[in-house]
Amino acid sequence: MEAITIHEGTTIPLMNNNIDTDQIIPKQFLKNILKIGYGKHLFHDWRFLDDGRPDPKFILNHPERQGATILISGENFGCGSSREHAAWALKDWGFKIIIAGSYSDIFFMNCTKNGVLPIILPLEARKKMASISSKETITVNLPQQFVECQDEKYHFAIDSTWKQKFINGTDDIDITLNYSDKITEFEDSLPSFS
């Protein structure tokens, strides 16, 4: 997993509440058996017109927003389906950071597995970040847990284990396999009714 420590980037605001994973990546793109290549389908139904052309009104298509790495959004981001394709699509498009009011529990966990950092900040801070120009950058400092936007610093909370995972870019399975003996011991203690 790609590590994140300090990141500076431009933004895309999508301030709707309850943006569900069906919108982030519609089901017709879940048939692939790879983890890559979903970025071109990110927000497909909002991003493309019926004839397949990009909708010039949708912010992801604005030329001046290309290259943005930080998504600013509303409450309950990533609700609905557990599809990790949503996190893969955001990452593949180029987003490294999401700043929302809250996240669905499953989506949050999927982000922790893919080096997409989900930050929670109150509406006031997000409104400020949503109002800056497409050229202005904001800075996320994960070790010190703050986001800097136009000389204002907004502190955010994050569980210390997930924080270290992002900073080190560690693979969970390798860590867990170190506990193999404990897992075996646990399995030996399980009741059996067969």
Contact positions vs other proteins (CB under 8 A): 16-18, 20, 22-23, 26-28, 30-35, 45, 75-76, 79-85, 87, 102-106, 109-110, 113-114, 159-162, 172-173, 176-177, 179-180, 182-183, 186-187, 190-191, 193-194
Cβ closest to other proteins, residue 151 vs residue 187: 187
Tell me whether strands 70-73 and 11-14 are parallel, antiparallel or unpaired: parallel
- Smallest gap from Cβ 109 to other proteins, in A, equals 6
Q: Are 41 and 165 in contact (CB under 8 A)?
A: no
Cβ closest to other proteins, residue 9 vs residue 101: 101
- Report the alpha-carbon distance of residue 188 to residue 12 in Å, rounded: 51
- Smallest gap from Cβ 135 to other proteins, in A, equals 26
Side-chain-side CA neighbours of 95 within 13 Å: the count stands at 30
Q: Are 84 and 110 in contact (CB under 8 A)?
A: yes
Cβ closest to other proteins, residue 133 vs residue 160: 160
- Smallest gap from Cβ 2 to other proteins, in A, equals 14
Q: What are phi and psi of 89, to 5 degrees?
A: -70, -45
- Give the position of tokens 């389906």: 81
Residue type, 47: R
- Smallest gap from Cβ 46 to other proteins, in A, equals 9
Cβ closest to other proteins, residue 144 vs residue 170: 170
Say which DSSP state 23 is in.
H
Cβ closest to other proteins, residue 152 vs residue 172: 172
